[in-house]
Amino acid sequence: MNMSFIGIGKLGLCSAACFAAKGHRTIGVDSSVEHIEALRSGRCPIDEPGLATLLDGCRTRMEFTTDYGYAVQNSDITLITVPTPSDSSGRFSNAYVETVLDRMAPALKAKKTFHVVALVSTVMPTTCECVFKPMLEKLTGKICGRDFGFVYNPEFVALGSVIHDFLHPDVLLIGASDERSAQTCRELYASVVESHPHYAVMNLTNAEITKLSLNCYVTMKISFANELAAICERIPEADVDVVTSALGADTRIGRRYLKGGLGFGGPCFPRDNLAFQRCAEDAGADAHLSPRVVRVNDEVVNRLFAMVGEHARSGSTVALLGLSYKPGTHIIEESQSVMLASQLLEAGYVVRMHDPKALKAVSEALRGRGVCCDDPYEAVADACVVVMLTDWPEYSRLDMERLEDRAGETPLLIDCWRAFRGVPLKKFTYRAFGISTRFSGGIEHGCRPDILYQDRRGRTPVLERASVQHPALT
């Protein structure tokens, strides 16, 4: 198919490349001239695993331009993936999408054939039906559903695994103005995906509600696991991983996003909860759960801050390992690690920080406060408390002896994801989220062989973490 993509950023460029790799001809449009120039000159301006290789393999089927008219005229479908930033009320702004519709309207008006306009960006429920569809009808003088189609098809992809998630969806959400556009989209996605997704075809408004609800539901699951972790910590012999591992085996619940740890952050989950609450408000209904989910999430940082305070006074050194909102990215938007860093700095602690990718962003966000270190061993120098925050895989391979040598006198290690569980420790006092102090500090610090630990997405068993035994257990 001939396809055009308006907004070829983190999500748009990945999906354009996936379609091109499967044989479709794609035209990418972006308002950033530098971005287009970079792509035209063969560079890959987005840091996403697998993207550069994918692009290199299909550049002959990809064009890049700043000309909206050219893109619409030379394609049968246009996918729009521009930003929809949250406004001060928590609702998503339509400004970027409206600019795009305005710019593509002349070509759509002139077009003799049926063209599908598909919006991928996250929007507030009813926006497609009540704002975008009438806007395009007015600008083109055409009738939606007869002369052109409007589709809302958001993606469920996570940064760091965009290409994998795009090609292996569980569900493909297609909200459409008409049967013909829905069918076009369905066939298009069927030609590229490598999984057997459920095709959820519905009207535009239900698709908007579904996108928002899915993300909010997942955050409810994360907050449940985090609350459970906080409870388990206070019960002797309790272990959140044992409990969630059994819970996740029930197909009504499932294993993914059920690992108690640090709270959720990033550019999607926190703002989607706010938007969901505003959506309920706009509909004259009450959203009781979502505000609680956000409260439980906020509480994680406060709990962590209190744990540090129990062991070290203001003025002492605290080392933070992992600052991005999740492993594999430099993004620190709504990162709980950075929230903790700010709280500690404000309370007068000396904060030393390490992250494999996010240091530059952190230094800017904290306006130079705190000490950014390129090396994790350097970050823990003289620290009274070391907090293992974002669970980068490289942290579970750290040399603990070396880490202990560099740390201060009687250091505390707080392990949010239990990455060091079972690792023999000489100097650190060990506290892990989700396991009671007695359990984590005592003889049972070693991993029990009957537990198969899952990573927090519930995908791969993390066996190596279970393989190191406390000397007392071996």
Ligand X SMILES: O=c1ccn([C@@H]2O[C@H](COP(=O)(O)OP(=O)(O)O[C@H]3O[C@H](CO)[C@@H](O)[C@H](O)[C@H]3O)[C@@H](O)[C@H]2O)c(=O)[nH]1
Ligand Y SMILES: NC(=O)c1ccc[n+]([C@@H]2O[C@H](COP(=O)([O-])OP(=O)(O)OC[C@H]3O[C@@H](n4cnc5c(N)ncnc54)[C@H](O)[C@@H]3O)[C@@H](O)[C@H]2O)c1
Q: Is the dihedral of CA 347, 351, 355, 357 positive or negative?
A: positive
Q: Is 7 in the site for ligand Y (CB under 6 A)?
A: yes
Q: Name which of ligand X, ligand Y, none residue 10 binds, using a CB cut-off of 5 to 8 Å depending on partner kind.
A: ligand Y
Give the C-alpha distances (Å, rounded to integers) separating 156 from 20, 52, 120, 192, 206: 20, 21, 10, 15, 16
Nearer to ligand Y, 7 or 260 (CB): 7
Determine if residue 84 is labeled as part of a ligand binding site: yes
Can you list the positions of beta strands (E) in 41-158? 62-65, 77-80, 115-119, 148-152
Q: Name which of ligand Y, ligand X, none residue 9 binds, using a CB cut-off of 5 to 8 Å depending on partner kind.
A: ligand Y
Q: Is 78 in the site for ligand X (CB under 6 A)?
A: no
Determine if residue 122 is labeled as part of a ligand binding site: yes
- Residue 446: CB minimum distance to ligand Y, A: 38
Q: Which two tokens stand for residue 363?
A: 């230094």
Determine if residue 410 is labeled as part of a ligand binding site: no
CB-based contacts of 313: which residues, under 8 Å, 6+ apart?
none
Determine if residue 422 is labeled as part of a ligand binding site: no
Q: Which of 185, 268, 416, 447 is catalytic?
A: 268
Helices and strands, number each (H, E), in the chain? 19, 14
> With contact defined as beta carbons under 8 Å apart, do 107 and 33 qualify?
no
Q: Name which of ligand X, ligand Y, none residue 257 binds, using a CB cut-off of 5 to 8 Å depending on partner kind.
A: ligand X
Q: Is 6 in the site for ligand Y (CB under 6 A)?
A: yes
Helix, coil or strand: residue 358? coil
Q: Is 157 in the site for ligand X (CB under 6 A)?
A: yes
Q: Name which of ligand Y, ligand X, none residue 39 binds, using a CB cut-off of 5 to 8 Å depending on partner kind.
A: none
> With contact defined as beta carbons under 8 Å apart, do 420 and 430 qualify?
yes
- Residue 389: CB minimum distance to ligand X, A: 10
Q: Is 456 in the site for ligand X (CB under 6 A)?
A: yes
Nearer to ligand X, 158 or 381 (CB): 158
Q: Is 309 in the site for ligand Y (CB under 6 A)?
A: no
Nearer to ligand Y, 209 or 388 (CB): 209
Chosen residue from 3, 4, 5, 12 binding ligand Y by CB under 6 A: 12
268 catalytic? Reply is yes
Q: Name which of ligand Y, ligand X, none residue 264 binds, using a CB cut-off of 5 to 8 Å depending on partner kind.
A: ligand X
Q: Is 279 in the site for ligand Y (CB under 6 A)?
A: no
Q: Judged by CB under 6 A, which stretch of 24-32, 142-150, 186-194, 414-422 contacts ligand Y?
A: 24-32
Q: Tokens 């044992």 — which residue?
A: 242
Chosen residue from 259, 352, 418, 421 binding ligand X by CB under 6 A: 259
- Residue 175's CB: how many other CB atoms inside 10 A? 28
CB-based contacts of 416: which residues, under 8 Å, 6+ apart?
261, 262, 304, 387, 388, 389, 391, 432, 433
Nearer to ligand Y, 166 or 224 (CB): 166
- What is the full DSSP assignment across 203-255? -HHHHHHHHHHHHHHHHHHHHHHHHHHHHHTTSTT-BHHHHHHHHHHSTTT-S
Determine if residue 239 is labeled as part of a ligand binding site: no
The letter for the amino acid at 78 is T
Calpha distance 124→174 (Å, rounded): 16
Within 159-178, the residues that bind ligand Y by CB under 6 A are: 159, 162
Helix, coil or strand: residue 47? coil
CB-based contacts of 40: which residues, under 8 Å, 6+ apart?
64
Nearer to ligand Y, 121 or 181 (CB): 121
- Residue 107: CB minimum distance to ligand X, A: 29
Q: Which residues are annotated as a binding site?
A: 30, 84, 122, 211, 257-261, 265, 326
Q: Which residues are annotated as a binding site for NAD(+)?
A: 30, 84, 122
Site residues (CB under 6 A) for ligand Y? 6-12, 29-32, 35, 81-84, 96, 99-100, 120-122, 154-155, 157, 159, 162, 268
